Structure 1
Amino acid sequence: MFLQKGMKTVSKLTISSAVLAMVLAACGDNENANSSGASNGGGGGEKKVKLRMIESLTSDTRTAELQKMIDAFEKANSNVDVELISPPFDQADNKIRTMLSAKEDIDIVEARDVNISEFVNNGYLEPLNDYAKNWSEYATVTKTALDVGSLGDKLYFISNGLYQRQLFYRADWLQEAGIAVPKTYEELVDASIKLTDKSKNRYGFSFRGGSGSNSVPESMVLTYNGANVNTDDSMFLKDGKSIYASPEAKQALDLYLKLFKEGSPADSVGWGFSEQVQAFTSGVTAFLLQDPDVINSLKDGMEEGTWATAPMPTGPSGIALISAGGAGWGITSFSAKKEAAWKLIEFLSDNEQNVEWSKSYGTIPIHSTATEDPFFNEGPYKTLLDMTADSNTFVNFKPPFIYPAYSKFGTLSMETGQRMLLGQATVEETLAAWAQFWVDAKAELDASK
């Protein structure tokens, strides 16, 4: 999300369970921590346990699916009651921060790749290593899923699904206009401009200038810097400079600005996730860069055959930098019911539950055994496998989740980016602000060590 989703190292594998493992790349106080929530229901005489959990990436469909899974857990564990708190999507992260900082009665929290460092730095999350090592299905959880929920050698949340971006496009529009599916960012911008017809309320690109807007310019700047990027510290080049302080960054951001001005709706300067997806499904835009959680919305809202997926666009050097990310369930450090909380997480995270969750919500499962299900290696998900199989072209990088300041970058980049899009700041001024943010963030991180 990344959702508001965040993004989350993936190595070359063959198309097997290991391949999907990479793509899945791009989540009662007296109970025993190694027992399975599905198989150990509470007895009649056991003390009733009340768990409170809060989710972050809320939507009506997602919350309903999560509640269905919780109901099944409660049926199998009659001594546990679970209260699910589902704030509105655009308020959820702030509400979670407020509740955690006040140490309110919350046992399970949906943490995300974009805020794991912040939460750990503030002491909000309990390490899960000792719980997970006794979990019978731990061995099939993919390395990518574990990396997303970890800092250093400590696991802080179990991913409930993984995200990895790909290109969604209107196959019917391209065929009608005789335009090939874009393979590069330059081709994407050119096609977006050609398909834009304001008199018909048709535009090329589903732009996102509001919350979460940093994902596309960040992806373009990374891809334009290509092999010069330090993939283990991706906001910096191999020479130590910020990715935003390079000539390639200006080339990428100039193209990004052109995409907005000539190939996107003017009001998309304020669009967030919902608006950009709605524009694509309603027939306003031709291209959308998003994670697989939009697939079900596209299936529900568009005619079969009118849309399709393609790999992420490449840059001038012929490569694209990609990553996987996700959110998942963690236990608060101040919970008095950690054993019961783990039992619920274990239940929600088992292969059966996670596969159903991924199918209904549109994420990539966290277990390598999901390759046995053709649902995930056919259709719109196949693009993700194709990218993983071609690691020479689609190079994986580690997003900067180790930086406590990372959660603040989204706000900074949105505000400064909007000023640039509206002509109130230059590309050079915008890049300078982004570069300085990461220089300061690195100094802060180094000082804390």
Structure 2
Amino acid sequence: LDWYLDLFRKHKVTPPSVPTDGWRQIVEGFGRGITNTYLHNSGSAEEQKGFVGPQGFATVPLPLGPAKQRASFYFSETLTLFKAAKNKEGAWKFLTFLMDDEPNFMYCKTLGLLPARKSIADRPEFSKDPTLAGFVKSFPFSVVSPYLAYASWGGKLDSEGVPLFQQAMVGKISAKECLDRFAEVLTKNMA
């Protein structure tokens, strides 16, 4: 984490406002050319491409970190059949239909989602599109997020993880303290 924090603290390769920037400031900074690279999910790709145009935008897989490893997580779009559903058979038929190749391809393409099935992800509409190719190239080393089973993990990441990281960026807490405190948050909320 110190290596990453030092991009801001020592090397000054990020805008000075980074510790307090919210999502909108990051998006607008990218659009104005103040921020040239950031890490996010495929859901923001089209908006970003709109700022710089199709020729000026591409996604790339995460680079190797200092430990010569990288991690990329993928998440489920959580198509769910509820226990209390009144028409479980109809819902199951719909889910089964939606998981067939062509309906799943259209579902993902229409909603801007990345397909989890390799046979669909390898199609040119995903693998050759500069907006999506970086994500598709990440699939071989991606793992399912370990947090999917915990409904509130994303909220804890935003409400407690981001402020801890911001404090570490400006030197109020050490990288170790940031990680230790966030581990406590996750342990408490994921037990």
Instruction: Please tell me the TM-score bracket, short chain as reference.
Output: 0.7 to 0.9
- Is the aligned partner of 1:383 residue 2:134? yes
* Structure-1 residue corresponding to 2:67: 317
Q: Which residue of 1 aligns with 2:101?
A: 351
2:82: which partner in 1?
332
Residue matched to 1:276: 26
Q: Equivalents in 1 of 2:108, 2:151: separation in Å?
A: 30
Change (3 A) 1:423 1:388: closer
Corresponding position: 1:401 with 2:152:
no
- State yes or no: 1:412 paired with 2:132: no
- Report the CA distance between 1:292 and its aligned residue: 2.5
1:429 maps to what in 2? 177
In structure 2, the residue corresponding to 1:289 is in which secondary structure? coil
CA contact (8 A) 2:81 2:88 kept: yes
CA distance in 2, matches of 1:440, 1:397: 23
**1:258 corresponds to which residue?**
6
Segments of 5+ residues of structure 1 without an aligned counterpart are: 1-251, 390-394, 445-449
**1:353/1:280 Cα in 2 relative to 1: closer, same or farther (>3 Å)?**
farther
Deviations 1:67-109 (A, max 9, x none): xxxxxxxxxxxxxxxxxxxxxxxxxxxxxxxxxxxxxxxxxxx
Matched, 1:285 2:35: yes
Indicate how the Cα distance of structure 1 residues 413 and 315 shifts in structure 2: closer, same or farther if over 3 A, else same.
same
After TM superposition, give the deviation of residue 374 of structure 1 in Å.
1.5
Q: Is the 8 A contact 2:115 2:121 kept in 1?
A: no
- State, as a whole percentage, how many aligned pairs show the same letter: 22
| Counterpart secondary structure, 1:290 | coil
Partner of 1:317: helix, strand, or coil? coil
Q: Which has the higher strand share?
A: 1
Larger radius of gyration: 1
Amino acid in the other structure paired with 1:302: V
Deviation at 1:327, TM superposition (A): 1.9
1:435 aligned partner, one-letter code: A
Alignment CA distance shift 1:264-1:349 (3 Å): farther
What letter corresponds to residue 429 of structure 1 in structure 2? E
Which consecutive residues of structure 2, in runs of 5 or more, have no partner in the other structure?
none
Superposed CA RMSD = 3.3
Shift of 1:308: 2.6
In structure 2, the partner of 1:229 is none
Question: What displacement does 1:351 show?
Answer: 3.1
Q: Taking structure 2 as the reference length, what is the TM-score of the superposition?
A: 0.72
With a CA cutoff of 8 Å and minimum separation of 6, indicate the structure with the bigger relative contact order: 1
- Cα offset, 1:312, TM superposition: 0.5
Deviations 1:11-36 (A, max 9, x none): xxxxxxxxxxxxxxxxxxxxxxxxxx
Give the secondary structure class of the aligned counterpart of 1:379. coil
After TM superposition, give the deviation of residue 313 of structure 1 in Å: 1.9
Question: How far does residue 287 in structure 1 lie from its aligned partner after superposition?
Answer: 0.4
| Distance in 2, Cα, partners of 1:293 & 1:420 | 27
Q: CA deviation at 1:365?
A: 1.8
Shift of 1:285: 1.2
